[in-house]
Amino acid sequence: MITNRIKVLLKLKDYVLRNDETFQSIKENAERQNGWFTQEFIELALYNICTYFLNEEALTQFSKSIQTAEAKGHQQTVGITMAGNIPLVGFHDFLCVFLSGHKQRIKFSTKDDVLLPHFIQKLYEWDESNHELVSSSDMLKGCDAYIATGSNNSAKYFEYYFAKYPHIIRRNRTSVAILEGNETEKELEHLADDIYQYFGLGCRNVTKIYVPEKYDFVPMLTAFRKYDHIKHHNKFRNNLDYNLALYILNNQLYMSSESMLVVENQSIFSAIAVVHYEHYTDKDTLLQQLHSSDEIQAIVGHGHIPFGKAQTPSIVDFADNVNTIDFLNSL
């Protein structure tokens, strides 16, 4: 029953918040496995999951829209290919299928195959029937439906192999921010969160900012000092130094905040340790262009997602605006 599944998810939340020695060692192992998964950002991912996903009121309300496998009288197997760009990035897909009562078979990314597998082991310990609902495999043959997240290149592969099955296939996406020039110091510090969290590797990270003509970048660069510590991270520093060398060799103009390079560029995608900017003259025209793009996950700014909230989606904020529950209900 879905009520029992909600109870076990709330037990998982309690386990995460208890943070015993076993779980601490699991988190340390996740960082050893993937150097981008620092304890700072693992803790951020766990906090957001506990706050916005594993919230009893949110789960109860969310479950009302789910047509469970029990209610339908039949159970499907959903194959999930998970990404590994940020810690526990595939948790929401796991959550949706688990609540639905359908079986799920997960192919974990090698970049993120420590934390969620540990959670699943805990589910087995608390209720053996969860063995029936959740499993993992390196091959996802024989499933009734598929959810796959990856790059644009891997999406072509997914489209080919999963074409005859019900599927959700997600491609490269990123997020942008629109500044008006009247942002407060606190808002600019929150913008730094949207850019720097998870080293900018998430699809909800802001990689491009739009600014009005004659915009003063100094307050924004000053606000970025909040994340000066990040430049000491070896992997991030290597990218910062590499991109800086490229701009110098190519005689390209750039601004720097010690830990981030700010470069004028029309592309919404930027390299690690780089954020692009572009001037705009008419906000309505800009919004038309942005809303017509299928590569933008989120827009941050006044009248849009508040500064600092890009990485805190609620349980009903579905990736790529594709409702996973509607998809599962349709099976």
Per-residue burial over 266-283, b if 16 or more Cβ lie within 10 Å, else e, is: eebebbbbbbbbeebeee
- Whether 238 shows a pLDDT value over 90: the answer reads yes
pLDDT score recorded for residue 167: 95
pLDDT score recorded for residue 152: 82
**Looking at the chain, how many residues does it have?**
331
pLDDT score recorded for residue 12: 98
CATH architecture of structural domain 2-172: 3-Layer(aba) Sandwich (3.40)
Closest CA to 94 of 313, 328, 298: 328
Q: Are 267 and 208 in contact (CB under 8 A)?
A: yes
pLDDT score recorded for residue 304: 97
Provide, rounded to the nearest whole percent, the portion of the chain with pLDDT above 70.
Answer: 100
Backbone φ/ψ region at 308: left (φ over 0), alpha (ψ -120 to 50), beta: left
The CA–CA distances, whole Å, from 263 to 41, 65, 84, 130, 316 equal 25, 44, 27, 49, 34
- Whether 155 shows a pLDDT value over 90: the answer reads no
Q: Are 236 and 230 in contact (CB under 8 A)?
A: yes
Scan for tokens 């090698």, then name that residue: 110
pLDDT score recorded for residue 283: 95
Band of residue 156 on the pLDDT scale cut at 50, 70, 90? confident
pLDDT score recorded for residue 165: 93
Question: What does the domain layout of the chain look like in residue ranges?
Answer: 2-172, 174-300
CATH architecture of structural domain 174-300: 3-Layer(aba) Sandwich (3.40)
Q: What is the rounded CA–CA span in Å between residue 317 and residue 322?
A: 9
pLDDT score recorded for residue 3: 92
The CA–CA distances, whole Å, from 184 to 121, 189, 191, 193, 282 equal 45, 9, 10, 15, 22
- Across the chain, mean pLDDT equals 96
Per-residue model confidence as pLDDT tens digits over 32-68: 999 999 999 999 999 999 999 999 999 999 999 999 9
